[in-house]
Structure 1
Amino acid sequence: MASISKRTIFFTGATGYVGGTVLTRLVDHPTFANSEITLLVRPSKKDKISALHSLGLNTVLGSYNDLDILEEQASKADIVFSVADADNLAAAQAILRGLKRRYEATGQQPLLIHTSGTGVLVDDAKGLYPTDVIYDDLNPDRINALAITQLHRNVDVAIVDADNENYVKAYIILPPTIYALAKTRFVDLGLQNPRSLQIPQLIRAGLLKGQGGMVGKGENVWPNVHIDDIADLYIIVYENALSGKAGHGREGFYFGENGEHKLYDLSKVVAQELYNVGRGKSPEPAPFTEEDYKRPENFGLEFLGTNARCLARRARALGWKPKYTTEDAFKSIKPEVEYVIQSGNY
């Protein structure tokens, strides 16, 4: 890295479920004392700025639509953690322009740790069948062959292309279904969203239906990971990127799975928990109907019926040791159900 007094880090997505959990680990990391971290904070969150400053963090107001801000902040950074929108190509390109400026100014390749997702692997199963196609992050040829039309893929390709041009070292982390309520100091301070997406969406759809549901027959398969384990993966990649040991670019895709589940099995636990609290007619999940899919609150519900299978072998080779299993994913559902019902957000 450039020989400066402090390593400069630009971080996006700090108030999000994943971003806030990763940021907590960065603040607690031994490198924090010699780091200057600037967070992109949306104007709607400006009331949180003083609390963030009190933790030794810098902030800049803006969003992923403020391309000039993204480029400028990236141009000042030795490292960018991009933990926000995985599908905003213009934002990714702005960050890459900034990192190219950084390289031209310093002669040192900045590091980009970018968040994609195993959504890049999905098919159109509609919950009707599993797949035997399993991607391995130690097989870059298979990943490289993914169609540009796959979710997240156009952004991933732009980032790998930038790495190929040698002005940045890029590391792409691909979380699957992330589960469990985040429990961090940022959640305690009201700075971070504590909840994931997929399982709460399944719960909300069941509450609206008055019955736990599933897409099709629930035969499709997805990998899963606990929020603490995926946050640990970011730090493992960060540490190994700093020491030059982590593969980057084409060799820099890191899946974050620790087990997988059939949608039916997940939906069965949701249906049971809803039934237990009197919010479902049966402990058995019922297929969602066209009426369910048409509800605005259920936008994207069909996505839960896809397959996206993978192996996190590259991540484990770096020393990542996830602790939580699919059984823990099922155990996380009861408190999620309680949280959704108490919040009334469905």
Structure 2
Amino acid sequence: MHYCNCIMSRTSIFFTGATGYIGGSVLHRLLEHPSAKTFDITALVRSPEKAEKLESFGVKAITGSLSDYALLEELTSQAHVIFSTADADNIEAIRAMLRGAKKRHAKVDDTPIFIHTSGTGEFVDDARGNSVRDLIYDDTNVDQIEALPDTAPHRNVDLEIVAADKDGYIKSYIILPGLIYGLVSNPFVDAGIQNPKSIALPAMIKVAFERKQVGIVGRGVAIWPNVSNDDTADLYIVLYDAIVRDLNSVGHGREGYYISENGEHSWYSVSRVIGEYLVELGVSTDPEPTKFTDDELIKYFGSLQTGNFLGSNARCKATRSRSIGWKPKHTTQDLLASIKPEIDFIRLQLSQ
């Protein structure tokens, strides 16, 4: 009840990743939220120019980076709600933010709400494109998630956040998106503030342009979850609203993992669509994906480990996310339909 009264007056929010693909979409939704007039939002932004533009939208923008640990700690200590959307693997930045949250908890007797962005990369195997895994992770299966190896991608950061929740000085909520897709169109993009495109699909497309033919890891049969940028951003707001309505009814800490997915795809199915469109454009003569060599994986993706990520399984189900009222609309067919606009966008960039 005390929490709801706080929301009805003023809510201090600290935001990292405001100019990013996910973060910008979440922040834009917060500014359009029915309670937006009660939000005091502070965002940490690297670019002074983008910081100035964000100020025009009513956001207090502080220029700095995730390496400014003292600044991160101080800004976090001033917020009741933290949206961490900038980097799923920057453990030192998260430690600084947790120190700030702990300081706030001790000083003003407040338990901050800590909403962090991780990813379904935590669930990957080493299939290298050659097998489909039957194991499907479920965000309501606490034992299953806790059995993940500490060395899994993003896992070390998530464990520190959950440990802080166990210590009682934050309530943590970790969102794990699958392969995110869809070009973003909103006033932040129009103003040059937000990155409008994702990471995985553009990387695959740029490599295909360079090779003159789409590539694939192994046979491409491994499966990943997918989710649109719009649906993922909606999950943050649905989660936030659920917390505001009844803090005690929303799982947090070890029960605070929220997967973002609405369908699955094989890596082959995505690569084939890329290949077909490159043939239409005259970039390639054959739509069929060809297997990356180890040398190519190192050349195009920096390492074998990173390249083989595009041949892994990461199957999972967003049961907990749906249980709080999240209703994603876009499906795997929308993922496949989004590839042509992504290619056109990247083609335009490469021509400039």
Say yes or no: TM over 0.5. yes
Matched, 1:334 2:340: yes
CA deviation digits over 1:317-338, x for unaligned, max 9? 0000000000000000001111
Matched, 1:294 2:301: no
| Cα distance change of structure 1 residues 295 and 229 upon mapping to structure 2, 3 Å threshold | same
Distance 1:261 1:297 in 2: 21
* Higher alpha-carbon deviation: 51-60 or 73-82: 51-60
What is the CA RMSD across the aligned residues, in angstroms? 1.5
**Gaps in structure 1 of 5+ consecutive residues:** none
Find the counterpart in structure 1 of residue 22 from structure 2. 18
Helix, strand or coil for the counterpart of 2:278?
helix
CA deviation digits over 1:271-305, x for unaligned, max 9? 11111101112011111123421325666332111
Is the contact between residue 10 and residue 74 of structure 1 (CA under 8 Å) also seen in structure 2? yes
Distance 2:313 2:344 in 1: 28
Distance 1:294 1:260 in 2: 27
- AA of the residue aligned to 1:157: L
Distance 1:15 1:174 in 2: 19
Aligned residue among 174, 193, 204 for 2:206: 204
Find the counterpart in structure 1 of residue 324 from structure 2. 318
Distance 2:197 2:6 in 1: 39
Find the counterpart in structure 1 of residue 36 from structure 2. 32
Distance 1:127 1:298 in 2: 18
Correspondences of 1:161-200 after superposition (within 5 Å): 161-200=163-202
1:345: how far off? 7.9
Find the counterpart in structure 1 of residue 126 from structure 2. 124
| Cα distance change of structure 1 residues 220 and 296 upon mapping to structure 2, 3 Å threshold | closer
Is the contact between residue 229 and residue 323 of structure 1 (CA under 8 Å) also seen in structure 2? yes
Helix, strand or coil for the counterpart of 1:37?
strand
Matched, 1:273 2:257: no
* Equivalent residue pairs, number: 344
| Cα distance change of structure 1 residues 257 and 3 upon mapping to structure 2, 3 Å threshold | closer
Distance 2:73 2:167 in 1: 18
TM-score by length of 2: 0.95
Is the contact between residue 175 and residue 258 of structure 2 (CA under 8 Å) also seen in structure 1? yes
Distance 1:66 1:214 in 2: 39
Correspondences of 1:301-312 after superposition (within 5 Å): 301-312=307-318
Distance 2:286 2:295 in 1: 19
CA deviation digits over 1:166-222, x for unaligned, max 9? 110000000010001011110011100000011111111111111011111001100
1:3: how far off? 4.7
Is the contact between residue 126 and residue 308 of structure 2 (CA under 8 Å) also seen in structure 1? no
Helix, strand or coil for the counterpart of 1:344?
helix
1:134: how far off? 0.4
Distance 1:3 1:184 in 2: 30
1:263: how far off? 0.6
- AA of the residue aligned to 1:309: R
Correspondences of 1:247-266 after superposition (within 5 Å): 247-266=251-270
| Cα distance change of structure 1 residues 345 and 59 upon mapping to structure 2, 3 Å threshold | farther
Is the contact between residue 212 and residue 272 of structure 1 (CA under 8 Å) also seen in structure 2? no
**Gaps in structure 2 of 5+ consecutive residues:** none
Is the contact between residue 207 and residue 300 of structure 2 (CA under 8 Å) also seen in structure 1? no
- AA of the residue aligned to 2:68: D
CA deviation digits over 1:56-84, x for unaligned, max 9? 11011111111111100000000000001
1:50: how far off? 2.3
Question: Identical aligned pairs, as a percentage?
Answer: 48
1:158: how far off? 0.4
Helix, strand or coil for the counterpart of 1:87?
coil
Find the counterpart in structure 1 of residue 136 from structure 2. 134
Find the counterpart in structure 2 of residue 145 from structure 1. 147
Distance 2:286 2:167 in 1: 56
Find the counterpart in structure 2 of residue 228 from structure 1. 230
- AA of the residue aligned to 1:23: L
Matched, 1:98 2:100: yes
